[in-house]
Amino acid sequence: MFKSILPSRRIPSSDFQMLTSPIDSTESDATGKENYFANAYDTNTTNNAKAKADKRKKMKGKAQPESETPQDFDKLLDELQIPSTLRPKLATMDPTVKAAFLKSSHVLAQMKPAPTPFTPRTLRRAQSSESVLSSPRPQKPTLEEYDLTESPIAPMALGTGHSRGKSLDIRRQALDPRPAPIAPLKVSKDKKKSVATTPEKYVKILLAESSTSMDIEVVKKLRLLLRNESASWTEAFLQHGGYDAILTRLNEILDVEWREEQHDDQMLFELLRCVKALSTSAVGCAALRAQCPAPFDKLVRLLYSDKKPGDVPTRQLIVELLLNLFDLYPPSSLPSTGSPGAGLAHSRSRSIPWELSATAMSSTSNLVVLPRPHSTLFSFIKALLLTPAPPPSEAPATPIQPHEFIEELHRPRVYKTYLQELSDLCRDYFWVFCHPSNAIWELSETDEAKVEKPRAPGGMTGGVEFEAMCYMTMHFKFVNAIASHVRALNLPKEHEHSAYRFHQDMFLSGIERILSIARKASTTYYPTLHLEIARYVAFAGLSGIDVPWSLSRMIGQPPTAMRKQPVIPPAPVIPPRTPPSRSMPTTPTKRGAPPAGFVGYAAPQQLVYPSGHDGAPSRTSVDRERERAQPQSRKVTPMFN
C-alpha cells in the first residue's frame, strides 16, 4: 500500500548539489576521517591551555596572603580609628579572627573604584542620584541606564576567551545567546549606588527635609554607613556638617507635641542609633564631645516627661547613650585636678580643663575637655540626672506650695525623679517579679564570667518582659558605672561628690524598695539583672554606708550554676608505709645468732628423745599452752647443699 508514497526508483546523486568539495585523501587522516583538524591547530590549542594553567597558578600564588603580624593588626586599627577603650577587647580576639579582619581589609582595598574615563552623554543614566535616595523603592533600572564601559570586568565577561583589550565585538555580542551581560550590569549598578552614597548627599538630605516627612530608610542607611564604612567616610561626613544636621533633625523631632508611633518614634529611634554609631570611631567621639552636653540634656528631659517614647528599646537606647559618656571621657584622658584638701575645698595643682590656654590645649593631644563648669565626670552626670522634670500636661497653672512645717520636715531625695522610671517598670511589669524566695547574690561567691557569657536565645527572648528586664539591667549598669567612678575618686565622706554621699542619696530616694522588688525576677532568664543588683549592693557596702537590715537579710548564696567552684586544697602527700624487714628486728635487741629457719642458714639440730626417756625434758601444762600459742615455724630446705 506504500507504492503510491515511496518512489518506484532510486533518485540519482546527480540531482543533489554538493555544498563542500570533497577533501583530498592525501590531506585527510590515514583512517579516512574528513573532520580531522590539522596538527598545527592542535599544537596552538595545547599551548593556549598551558598558558591559561600557568596564569591560574600565578593568580593563586598572588591570592595567597602572607603571614600577618600583630603590627599589621595594630596598623589596621589605626587606619579605622578605633577608640582606645575598644582596643583591649579586640586585642584578645582569636588569631584566626584577626587574620580574617586583615584579609577583608585587603579585599576592600583592592575593590576601590578606579577613576572612570570620560563617556559620551548618551550612555549615562537618565535617573539622578537624588531621586534614587529619596524614593523608598527605586525602580529597577533598564539596560540603557548603565554605562558598560565603566565596569573594569566587562571585557572579561564579554570576551571570547582571548585577550582583545577593551574593544567589544558588537556583532558577536548580539548573536551570542549566553546571558553574559548580566554580570557587568550588576557591578555597574553597585558602583552607581556607591557613587550616590557620598557623605555630601546625606548631609544635603538631612538639611533639606524635615524629620516628620523624611524617609526612615534613608536614616537607616546612614546609620549603617556610619557604623560600617571606613573612618575617612565618617570624617568627610562630619567635615560637611553631618553631626550638626543630625542634631537639627533630632531637636525637631523632640519638639513635636504629639509624635506618631508609626513614623516619628521610629525616626527618633534611628536618629539615636546614628548618634551611637558615631561613638565607634575616634573622629565621631571627638564630634560628640565638641557638642556636649547636647543632646544628652534633652534626652534626660525627654525621659522624665510625659512624652517619653512608649517603646522600651528607645528608652534603653537613651540610657546606653548616657552610659557611653564613660567611654567619651575616660579617666586616663582627663587632666588631673589635684587631691582634695581639708573640708570641701580643692587644692588644685593645675588649672581646670576649660581654664587652659589655647597653646596648652594644642600641645596636649590626648586632652579631653569636660563641659563647663564641671571638673569631674561625676559632677557632669549628676547635673544631668538632677535635670528638673518638665511639668505634666495636666499640671495646674499655679504651682502648689507646701506649708512651712512640711518644708522643715522634708528630707531631700535628689534622685527620686530618676528612680521613678525604675519604679514605673516594677509597676507596669509586676507579673515578672513572682519569685519571692530569691536572694540578693553575694558578689564574692558569684562567678561573674559564667553569668555574663553569651547564651543561646530561649523561649523568653524577644517578649515585652524580656525587653523590660533588659531595660532595667541597663539602668543598673549605668548606676554601677557611676558607683565605680565615685569610688575611684576616693573623696572623704563629707564631700558632696563622695561615694558615701552618692549611696546615701540613692537610699534616701527609694532604691531599697526597687532592689527588693527586682530580686524577685527569674534567675534563669535574667541572671545579668541579679548580677548588677549584687554589684550595686557590694559597692554600697564598700562606700562605708550601713546597708538597711531589710535589704541585708536578703543577701544569700547564688544558684549552684552561677556559684564559684570551691577551691579544694591539695591533699598532703603521705609517704607509703614500708613493712618491717625480716632481716632487721622491729625492736632494739641484743645482736645474736640468726633465728632458726632463716634463709641461707641451717636450723640447729635438736635431739629427739622418745617419750618417757630420762633425757626428755619434763613439760608442764604451762609449757604445753605456750607451745600451742606460738606459731609453728616453717622448715626451709637449703637451696644448695
pLDDT score at 411: 81
What region, left, alpha or beta, does residue 626 occupy, with left being phi > 0 and alpha being psi -120 to 50 degrees?
alpha
> Please, what is the average pLDDT of the chain?
74
Q: Which domains are delineated in the chain?
A: 72-103 (no CATH), 142-160+179-196 (no CATH), 197-335+369-385 (1.25.10), 409-562 (no CATH)
> What pLDDT score does 343 carry?
36
Among the residue ranges 150-164, 441-455, 465-479, 524-538, the one predicted with the least confidence is: 150-164
Assess whether pLDDT exceeds 60 at residue 32: no
62-81 pLDDT per residue, tens: 444 445 677 788 888 877 77
Scored b (16 or more CB within 10 A) or e, 113-140 reads eeeeeeeeeeeebeeeeeebbeeeeeee
572: cis peptide before it, omega within 30°?
no
Residues in the chain: 641
Question: What average pLDDT score do residues 604-619 get?
Answer: 56
Beta carbons of 273 and 321 less than 8 angstroms apart:
no
State residue 432's pLDDT score. Answer: 94
Which residue did the predictor score with more confidence, 306 or 133?
306
| C-alpha closest to that of 433 among 511, 518, 500 | 518
**Tens of pLDDT along 460-473?**
677 899 999 999 99
Q: Answer with the residue of higher pLDDT: 628 or 82.
A: 82
Query: 139: helix, coil or strand?
Result: coil
Q: In angstroms, what CA-CA distances link 502 with 164, 293, 323, 547?
A: 77, 22, 17, 13
pLDDT at position 462: 76
The pLDDT of residue 573 is above 80: no
pLDDT of residue 91: 79
Higher pLDDT pick, 406 / 397: 406
Q: Exposure of 504 by Cβ count < 10 A (0-12 exposed, 13-18 middle, 19+ buried)? A: middle
Name the percent of the chain lying above pLDDT 70.
59
Three cell numbers, residue 604: 640447729
pLDDT bucket at 41, cuts 50 / 70 / 90: very low
Residue 426: is its pLDDT beyond 80?
A: yes
Residue 528 C-alpha cell reads as 545579668
Are 282 and 231 spatial neighbours (Cβ–Cβ below 8 Å)?
Answer: yes
Dihedral sign for Cα 472, 476, 482, 486, please. Answer: positive
The yes-or-no verdict on residue 621 having pLDDT over 50 is yes
Q: String of b and e for 155-185 (b: at least 16 CB within 10 Å)?
A: beebbeeeeeeeeeeeeeeeeeeeeeeeebb
Lowest mean pLDDT among 204-208, 221-225, 599-603: 599-603
Cell of 183: 554580570
Question: How far separated are the first and last CA of the chain, in Å rounded?
Answer: 127
pLDDT tens, position by position, 122-181: 333 334 344 434 444 344 333 233 333 333 333 333 333 333 343 344 343 443 444 444
pLDDT digits (tens, 9 = 90+) for 464-510: 999 999 999 999 999 999 999 999 999 999 999 999 999 999 999 99
pLDDT at 4: 57
Q: What is the DSSP string of 62-104?
A: HHSPPPP-HHHHHHHHHHHT--TTTHHHHHTS-HHHHHHHHHH
Q: 363: Cβ–Cβ under 8 A, 6 or more apart, which residues?
A: none
Q: What pLDDT is stored for residue 556 in this prediction?
A: 94
Quick check: 288 pLDDT over 60? yes
Q: At what angle do helices 464-489 and 377-385 cross, to 10 degrees?
A: 140
Name the pLDDT band for 56 (thresholds 50, 70, 90): low
pTM for the full model?
0.62
pLDDT exceeds 90 at position 5: no
Residue 617 C-alpha cell reads as 625434758
Three-class DSSP category at 463: coil
